[in-house]
Structures are given as C-alpha cells and as structure tokens.
Amino acid sequence: MVIIGDILEKEGMTLQNELRSNGKSCQFTKLDVTKSSDWEKTVNLAISSFGKLDILVNNAGISNSQEPIEVTVEDSWDKVMSVNAKGVFLGTRAVIPYMRKNGGGSIVNVSSQFGLVGFEFENSAYQASKGAIRIFTKVTALQYAKDRIRANSLHPGPVDTPAGVVASGNSDRLAFVLSKVPLGRIANPLEIAYGALFLASDESSFMTGAELVIDGGWTAQ
C-alpha cells in the first residue's frame, strides 16, 4: 500500500495505473515537496486510504547546470536547496506525529555520493543539499529513536534514469563519470530501489542514523 507523490501528474498517474494492473495497492497524488500544505494533504490521504503511515521515502531532487560557485545565482541555489533539503525537512516533520502514534516507523532520505564527497564538476548547490540531507537524517534519528522512528540516508552513485548522465547523450561526460566508478558502469534503478526497500523494512531494524552507499565504489577512492 503506497502513496506516490510528485509534481508530474501525467507520469504519476501512468505509474499508478501500471502498478494497479499488476495487483499493487497504490495511489498517486500531486505533491510539491516544497509546500507544507501539500505534505499535509498527502499524509492525510495516506491515513484515510490505509489507516496508518509506517514508511516515508524522501526521493525528490533536482540539480542545475554544473556552474562554478562564483557564477551561481541566488535563485538557482535557493531552488535546489528548497526541493532537495527543505523538502526532506517538510516531509519528515509531516509524518513524525503519525509514526509516533503507530509506535514507530522508517524514514529513508535519498542523498547521493555527493553527500559524502565533493566533486568539482557537479553543481555546488546540489552537493550542499545532499550533504544537508545526510546530517539532517542523523539528527532525526537521534531525536526520535525513543519513539522507535528510524531514519537513514541512501547514497546512490550515478544511475541510469531520465535525468542521468546516460540520458543526457553527452558521451564525453559519460566516459568521465565511468572513469570515476571502480565497477565501471552506471547503476540500474532497481539496484538503488532494493537499498531503499532494505532501509524501509524490518530487515534493517537495528539501523538508524546510518548511511547506505550504493555507488559502485566511487567514495572508496
């Protein structure tokens, strides 16, 4: 039983229908993660549809062009930080009362390998936002451990998604990124999804405030 939230309504409805056709219980709702009112609506939908809320996966994220810090404009910085960092804060704040009432829950915050290490050719706001997610996750874990609410961060490396380096068609950048991955390839989205599933489930019941890195060895260097 899953609520899918996104600003992309057409794509969200397509995914909802695909999952339902495969026998899954899910519902799509429009969610702008930067708006607390949207979070309130989404959480209320989950409670009214399923009776409780056990898991939150904060996965919304954007980036801007790979511009140096000195030419990054404030609006660009603010937009990235609003979606990537503020969105995680608002989502977490919205679900905590319901998870506490349930006697616990699991929060999975999707960061990045760039939440652990810097990279000169990636947007500075993106990297800063992913680092913020990492530390915010640890604070959440400490503040709500007594309520049996766990919070962990997931740190993917490059993944083959519509927003990824493969889809960009930039062969030079793809070759450069691959040179940074010891395993020599880009991750399949399922490889990241399995990590999120692990953190969401009771299989990780003794993990909180931790970092699960799925980056093909990027940060091992």
Which residue has 């760039």 as its token pair?
Answer: 114
137 φ, ψ (degrees, to nearest 5): -60, -45
DSSP state letters, 27-48: EEEE--TT-HHHHHHHHHHHHH
SS3 134: helix
Catalytically annotated residues: 126
Check the CA dihedral 69-73-79-81 and report its sign. positive
Q: Do the beta carbons of residue 31 and residue 38 sit within 8 Å?
A: yes
